[in-house]
Structure 1
Amino acid sequence: MSDLPTLVVVTGMSGSGKSVALATLEDLGYYCTDNLPADLLPDFVRSVGREAETPQKLAVGIDVRNRHQHLSRIPRWLSAVGALGFDPRLVFFDTADPVLIKRYAETRRRHPLSHRGLSLADAIAQERQILRPLRMLADAVIDTSELNVHQMRRRVTTELGLGDSELSLLFESFAYRRGVPGDADFVFDARGLPNPHWEPRLRPLSGRDPEVSEYLDHSAEFGEYFAQVAGFLDTWLPRMRSGTRSYVTVAFGCSGGRHRSVYLAEKLAAHARDRGWEDVATYHRELD
């Protein structure tokens, strides 16, 4: 990376890991925003640049949800960003079609082009056609077909010259009914804790919401569970630092993967940061 203030434009196929990339950049101190209309790129840089403490590292997510005629003009707007004194970099995330189809089947999310009445395979093919000029323009292309979340984070830091040798920690939440994550190093079962799902006002929320965290924090069972798990991880995670190991995944499961497991992952990630761990991320399989 140059010494100039940086703008990283994250783009690519839907389901290829762009949200993981933006979360990684945010963890590394970038000011991030997702789904920015492409024509607002120069205005976004100008607006942030007016702040008293101007961030030197910006990142935006731009993808097929944009107006397609705007995507074709991105080179012009990147040039305008460069004229504002920023070093713009375009990073394209790609994934093989069969892997994308599998990921959509696992998450049950809708493809951004599905509103056109297309099958998933046709929507992916059309998206690839629309984004082809951006892939050709990209400063870096990252293929995530064979990468897990940890490896995606490592590739982002490597491609942007931000990597270090610190052990990377991922705190992940999941629903047991959809299986335990295959790459988890530690798995903790939260199904014995009080379930916010049975509270009508909390059911539509997630473990990211303060109402859910307040409900769980007032539970004696949750306090005891958290203290025991935190103590275990405080003891054993430092012992996993080695020259041959680059990441550890700690997974929390509950029935739906929305409340208890999500809050535990977020709370333990915050606890790890407080304990001095630098490369800490969260991933919520049933939400992200």
Structure 2
Amino acid sequence: MSTDPAQNDTPSVILVTGLSGSGKSIALHVLEDVGYYCIDNLPVSLFDALVRDITVNPTKARSPFAIGIDARNPGTELDRLPGMIKRLRDHGVDCEVVFLDAEDAILIQRFSETRRRHPLTDDGTTLEQAIKLERELLEPLLDLARLKIDTSRTTLHELRELIRARVAERESGEMSIMLQSFGFKHGVPRNADFVFDARCLPNPHWHPDLRPLTGKDAEVAAFLGDDLQVKSMLSHICDFLTHWIPCFEREGRSYLTVAVGCTGGQHRSVFLIENIAKFLTSQGRQVVTSHRELP
């Protein structure tokens, strides 16, 4: 798979947006490193001029672009973006919206640790109020986003790898599928398209020799792989995805996130995600795996 976007003849534009403190700058840096022409905090009026330039002559457009647009634009300006994106797509331009988000408590913690000022705070607006206002202003962009990334529990290194794997290295026209294991006791991933619950399956946690291991270890894989319930759930999930992924592709979806959870996110969900990944990879799918609760 080529990681050089310049080798793709189809013009492409990626809009990187989301909450302040969620990692937008990191995402843009990753895309810049792999050859995207990046512009941060672009006013919507200038994006409109870029749209006109690309749609007039797509073959001569400097491509690909990665554009950072956020709530520093007036809300009335942000409302114009859906029409601009539709114009790009109608002219054959691969235009994607990547929305980065995080829990309010995490955003507050990040601003407190870095001592940065939120762009919407002032003498009469607290940080909490600014975050709430920002969410309201960005609602039109959230609705447009085909890829939503919650960075609440994501390290800088993990976010870089995620952007590289799901965005920078995605072949044009190919769907990028994220498979994520998680523990229900730590909360359900907010951006998953499908969530499967594996808590009904036999739990290796109750076996002292398996408890310190994970679903990636051979002993746990042997324990779960021999169980008929586990085999049945794995088969049903794979059949479900085989049936429905093409339906999403026909609707023009470029990204899909599938999450499997168990109680702690260490054994059953990890085992299932690893095996679902093997199955989809054997079908020629572009797959990225993430085990949220594993170190």
TM-score by length of 1: 0.52
- The aligned amino acid for 2:27 is A
User: What is the CA-CA distance between 1:155 and the residue it aligns to?
Assistant: 1.4
Q: How far off is 1:61 after superposition? A: 0.3
Alignment-derived partner of residue 138 in structure 2: 131
Instruction: Determine if the alignment matches structure 1 residue 29 to structure 2 residue 54.
Output: no
Query: 1:50: Cα distance to partner?
Result: 7.7
Once the two structures are superposed, residues 95-118 of structure 1 have per-residue CA deviations (whole angstroms, 9 ceiling, x without a partner) of 111110011011111111112621
Do the aligned partners of 2:79 and 2:140 also contact (CA within 8 Å) in 1?
Answer: yes
Aligned residues, how many? 164
How far residue 81 of structure 1 moved from its aligned partner, in angstroms, is 2.3
The residue identity in structure 2 corresponding to 1:155 is L
Give the Å deviation of 1:58. Answer: 0.6
Structure 1 residue 139: deviation in Å?
A: 0.9
Shift of 1:44: 1.9
Which residue is 1:96 aligned to? Answer: 103
Root-mean-square deviation (CA, aligned residues, Å) is 2.7
1:69 equivalent in structure 2: 76
**CA displacement at 1:136 relative to structure 2:** 1.9
Residue type matched to 2:162 in 1? R
- Change in 2 beyond 3 A, CA 1:51/1:136: closer
Q: Is the Cα contact below 8 Å between 1:8 and 1:88 reproduced in 2?
A: yes
Q: 1:7-35: per-residue Cα shift (whole Å, max 9, x none)?
A: 00000000100000000000010000011
Quick one: distance in 2 between partners of 1:44 and 1:141?
24
2:86 corresponding residue in structure 1: 79
* Alignment CA distance shift 1:76-1:45 (3 Å): closer
Does structure 1 retain, via aligned residues, the 8 Å contact 2:31–2:168? no
Q: Which runs of 5+ in 1 are unaligned?
A: 165-288
| Post-superposition offset of 1:159 | 2.4
| Alpha-carbon distance, 1:55 to partner | 3.1
The CA distance in 2 between the partners of 1:91 and 1:109, in whole Å, is 23
Label 1:116 to 1:128 Cα distance change in 2 as closer, same or farther (>3 A): farther
| TM-score for the superposition, normalised by structure 2 | 0.51
Cα distance in 1 for partners of 2:87, 2:41 equals 19
| 8 Å contact from structure 1 (residues 41, 78) kept in 2 | no
**Deviation of the 1:45 alpha carbon:** 4.4
- Correspondence 1:1-288 to 2 at 5 A: 4-47=10-53, 54-115=61-122, 117-160=124-167, 162=169
**2:11–2:58: 8 Å Cα contact kept in structure 1?**
no
The alpha-carbon distance between structure 1 residues 51 and 138, as it changes in their structure 2 partners (threshold 3 A), is closer
Q: CA deviation at 1:72?
A: 1.3
Structure 2 gaps, min length 5: 172-295
Secondary structure at 2:87 match in 1:
helix
Identical aligned residues as a percent: 43
Q: Deviations over 1:178-218 (max 9, x none)?
A: xxxxxxxxxxxxxxxxxxxxxxxxxxxxxxxxxxxxxxxxx
Segment of structure 1 superposing worse, 47-56 or 131-140: 47-56
Partner of 1:207: none
Distance 1:79 1:51 in 2: 15
Cα offset, 1:52, TM superposition: 11
Distance 1:116 1:85 in 2: 46
Residues 94-153 of structure 1, C-alpha deviations (whole Å, 9 max, x = no match):
011111001101111111111262111111111112212211221110011111111111
